[in-house]
Amino acid sequence: MENQSNLERIYNGLLKENPIFVLAIGMCPTFAITTSAINGIGMGLATTVVLALSNLLISLIRKIIPDSVRVPIFLVIVASFVTIVQFLMEGFLPSLYDALGIYIPLIVVNCIILGRAEAYAYRNPPLLSLFDGIGMGLGFTFAVTWIGAVRELIGSGKIFGYQLLPLADLATGKAGYEPVAIFVMAPGAFLALSVLVAIMNTKRKKKGMAPLPIGCSPESCAACGNRSCVTRNSGSVKVENTAKAAQGGKSE
């Protein structure tokens, strides 16, 4: 039974509630690091490790975390694991570390991690939270690797560095694929993601769901303890009120 529900968490993160393709949270790193499939895998696995370990630790100490300061505590826990992962990467995968650069420490502000801490790990037992983290992390990895592979293929004709489409050669007049280099640069991220969101919106429409919001999606906002949602809804509600509301919701 226990085993089954652990597997269920992995399936849930990977497919049913995939953080990118279904929940549409944590889009910022998705733009930045999907320049190639291998970058996608690296960033995805780094995020998975942080997500799984921070979910586990938060769930273990969830009963002793005071409700009003939970977000700073989550931040410290997540930032500690991110620092560990950053140093491991610098030591053992220096080329990937250079390619991902500043986006590794920025895993701290990835909405998926704080979102899962708040929405799942803070309310569920450790083992389930660990598997939820692994599932969500693998779902994220799957999504960013996919997007990275598509961008790499259009932008350079390669996948995982392997030349899949033979390139055209102007000098010899050899016919072949002419890469759209803009796709592996910054503007390409916007164009690729816009097509992805358009596909997702069309699917959501068929299922009778509302299209994805233009800014951050409300689910991710609420999950991150993002105060902007609170302010947007009701003028200028204080943080204390939000904390109180959360507490009230919990005791009910």
Partner 1 sequence: MKTLIIIIISSALINNVVLSQFLGLCSFLGVSTSVKTATGMGMAVIFVLTLSSLVTSIIYKAILYPKYDYLQTIVFILVIAALVQFVEMFLKNSVPTLYRALGVYLPLIATNCAVLGVALKNVTHSYNILEGTVNGFATAVGYTFAIVIMAGIREKIDTNDIDPAFKGKPIILVTSGLMAIAFFGFSGLVA
* Local structure of residue 103 (DSSP, 8 states): G
Q: CB 201 → partner 1: shortest distance, Å?
A: 7
Least CB distance to partner 1 at residue 212 (A): 5
Nearer to partner 1, 14 or 230 (CB): 230
Nearer to partner 1 by Cβ, of 99 and 127: the residue is 99
Binding site for partner 1 (CB under 8 A): 27-29, 31-32, 71-72, 75-76, 79-80, 82-83, 86-87, 101-102, 105-106, 108-109, 182, 185-191, 193-195, 197-199, 201-202, 211-216, 224, 226-228, 230-231, 236, 239
Q: Which is nearer to partner 1, 79 or 168 (CB)?
A: 79
d(CA 220, CA 112): 8
Look at the chain and count its residues: 252
Which C-beta is closer to partner 1: that of 56 or that of 108?
108
Would you say 204 and 217 are in contact if contact means Cβ atoms under 8 Å apart? no
- Measured from the CB of residue 60, what is the shortest distance to partner 1 in angstroms? 19
The residue (of 108 and 128) whose beta carbon lies closer to partner 1 is: 108
Among 29, 30, 25, smallest CA distance to 13 is for 25
CA distance 197 to 237: 32
Q: Where are the alpha helices (H) located in 111-125, listed in sequence order?
A: 111-116
Asked if 74 contacts 171 with a C-beta cutoff of 8 angstroms, the reply is no
- Shortest separation between residue 206's beta carbon and partner 1, angstroms: 11
Separation between Cα atoms, residue 125 and residue 100, nearest integer Å = 33
Please say whether the beta carbons of 96 and 42 come within 8 A.
yes
For residue 175, the minimal CB distance to partner 1 (Å) is 28
The structure tokens 């009003």 sit at 68
Query: Which residue number, 124 or 201, has a Cβ lying nearer to partner 1?
Result: 201
